[in-house]
Structure 1
Amino acid sequence: MKKILFAIVLILSIYFFMDYGLSFFPISVKYRFVGDSKNLARTKIVLDLDEKLDVGFNQIWCGSFLAAWKNLEEKVAKEKIRIKGNPQLDRVLANSSDPRPAIQDESLFIASGFVKNGILEEIKNGLQNRFPNVKPPAFGSASPDDIIAYAFMATSIRFRDPYLEYNKPFIFQDVDGKKSDLRAFGLYRERGQSLGSLTSQPKILFNDIIEDPSKTMTEFAIDLDINSSPNQIVLSVIEAKPTIKETVDYVIQRITDCSKKEIDLGPDDEILVPQIAFRITHEFDQLKNQIFDNPSLAGCRLKETIQDIDFNLNRSGVALTSSSQIWAVFATTNLYYFNKPFLIIMKNRSNNIPYFVMWVGNSEILNLKN
């Protein structure tokens, strides 16, 4: 019986991740959560950006899965992969946008093919040539008729200047009114201190001000480092739309509409962002045991689809690692406070194709102050 082993591993590192030879800032990381997604009550790893946005949940999407899936279509199936008897899932995978244009060639290693045609050696040699510090994956007892698809991505953004650690508890409130005291970083002044060049690092991409004494923003988006290239991280507080994709598209459109408008950061404006650090292992149950309906993949079924995500956002930058395995057998002060549900988008600065999206809907995986 023909078998397919489909494994995807992504390492996406923004600013620092020492193990992979990227820029490193010596800062200890305390993870709020490490473990299986089944142990999280209000956090979801999603397969597709068209998924309904539940404003009270954390919802995380990473483009590594689709990057490897698209490569498998091109190199092995030679056509769009179809899922037998599941038209909804079939449409999701077939119609999802290809995230590869958002990723620099030197930041991505991707390969797929039959074991009998040497794909294991291709992965080992190609990965070590591009990322010498990365240990090649082990695929166990793969048989000659297995097909392996593998992707590894490593990108980095280094904040020009580290943001300030916020000394006090930062109060985050979710849609249910639950409040949590969090660790935070940002740009703020105490006792008249000078911030120097730090004030020119972030850029306000759009903002709406509600006329109240505190001048708290109702909707806004911030580029945390306008000097970062080619990668960009955008944080935004906005009203959630019906799906994650519609919410992302809304933010991108608003940024585009305001691109020619200069929105200056005032001398007394403040920015505060929660620290986030987690490691999540997730299995896409909706793909388990699904059967391919392509002639070149006839009779093959998906045995398991697992994704690991390691994410860390702090004053020095943001680091994300993710791996997936699929086994187929056969003036006044403006307060830019991210203290309520908000969106994180990571993308190439030259286009609007994201490779990581996270809706932060609650504090379940945010770093507590104590």
Structure 2
Amino acid sequence: MEANMKRVDSYANEHGISWRPHIKTHKSIEIAKRQIANGACGITVAKVSEAEVMANGGINNILIAYPLATHKKLERVAALLSKATIILTIDSVEQATHVQQFFQHIGQDIEVWIKVDSGLKRCGVDPGEPTLQLAQHVSENCPSLRLKGLYTHAGHSYAASSYEQVVAIGRYEGECIVESAQLCENHGIPIEVRSVGSTPTFEVAGKVPGITEVRPGNAVFYDAIQVGLGVATYSQCALRLMGTVVSNRPGERLVLDTGSKSLSLDQGAHGNATVKGYGHVVDHPEIVIQRLSEEHGIATIDGNTTLGLLDRVQIIPNHACTVMNLFDQVYVVRDGQVIETWKVDARGNVQ
């Protein structure tokens, strides 16, 4: 984990940009603080409840990378402004109007960034002219909103069939932000922050001249999906589950105590098909966790295995982010020894 943090920080320093990791991967105040100590300029969250946990834990610069508009959630955001810089994200005129009306009513200003769709086809305004039009609306009609940045997330990189395709997606991710920002500035709207995300693409998109920030989340741990995409190796994967063989049919199957409530049923977002089974069993390529029930991981055996009843294995999850959210705490291991236990502070914070 420490090496993974240093990898991102070294990359950011080399290219003269900032990094703002997405903490939905680890949901831990301790890890967030370590990322900031290693050079991160702040953090990214997906939910207001995550922002609340992190702000109360002492993190003072937080991007909520999710479009908010309801009165209740904006009230909760406003309550955090005395503790931290909170940045909201906008992707439509209608949403901007709701946010403006709320903050105008309470007499506060707030920093906002515009979300640009770089190809994921989820949230976000199209790059180019549509981005300019939204920026003009915010600048001209929303005096309580301080427009400071554009950002995007190329999550469709997870569906890439090759690393070359990841590179192409990442290059466009950076270019569409820079070009949209330049268009805004040509019309008198300064764009200070040009931010890109996605662990598979950040090392490509961050090289595009004009990008100022990257926001990789999964890069703190990596996982089997990142290995499948060619972004990381198994040795770089920091999050692992310890599983025990609880039932054994020699030559046929064995059962681990790691079911869907610990490994999750995730085999990859946005069409990813690079993983095999439901987690990589370290040092045992003959074992494939073929199916999961709630408490059971049923594995097939290809040939012979040395594993038997009560043997323990390490499992690298397919998707670290979903697995971390299933546990109350993690054990911190150095040189094979447990040295600390850390709480997963924002576990279940999805409101």
TM-score computed with the length of structure 1 as normaliser: 0.24
Tell me which protein shows more strand as a share of its residues. 1
Tell me which protein shows more helix as a share of its residues. 2
Which structure carries more relative contact order (alpha carbon 8 Å, separation 6+)? 1
TM-score computed with the length of structure 2 as normaliser: 0.24
